[in-house]
């Protein structure tokens, strides 16, 4: 089972858990399983076309899934999947 790290804004949907473990052979399968286990997460991660929203970054270990094979990126049981919302703001 892969470990999925949940960002603070989504933890209310995972009953406060900062990480969960799920099975899946690809990033897409893992994120779909995450939404099945914790309904509501999918609508925050995916756009209308079923792609990860542009302001959401998903890393497999240290690599952005977009630089790999996107949602088809293979996932192994020892992999760490991190969901990282983009940060904005700042300035003076």
**Chain segment 26-43, per-residue pLDDT in tens:** 999 999 999 999 999 999
Q: Where are the domains of the chain?
A: 2-85
SS3 state at 29: helix
| Beta carbons of 24 and 75 less than 8 angstroms apart | yes
- Res 76: pLDDT: 95
- The answer to whether the beta carbons of residues 36 and 13 sit under 8 Å apart is no
Q: Could you tell me the mean pLDDT of each successive run of 10 residues in the chain, 92 residues long?
A: 96 97 97 97 96 96 97 97 81 58
43: part of which helix (H) or strand (E)? helix 41-45
Q: What architecture is the 2-85 domain classified under in CATH?
A: Roll (3.10)
The total number of residues written for the chain in this structure: 92
Would you call 38 exposed, middle or buried from its count of C-beta atoms within 10 A (0-12, 13-18, 19+)? buried
């Amino acid at each position: 089972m892969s470990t999925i790290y949940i960002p603070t804004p989504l933890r209310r949907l995972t009953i406060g858990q900062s990480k969960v473990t799920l099975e899946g052979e690809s990033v897409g399968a893992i994120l779909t399983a995450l939404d099945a286990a914790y309904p509501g997460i999918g609508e925050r991660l995916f756009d209308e076309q079923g792609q990860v929203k542009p302001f959401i970054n998903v890393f497999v270990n240290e690599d952005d899934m977009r630089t790999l094979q996107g949602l088809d990126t293979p996932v192994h049981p020892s992999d760490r999947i991190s969901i990282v919302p983009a940060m904005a703001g700042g300035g003076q």
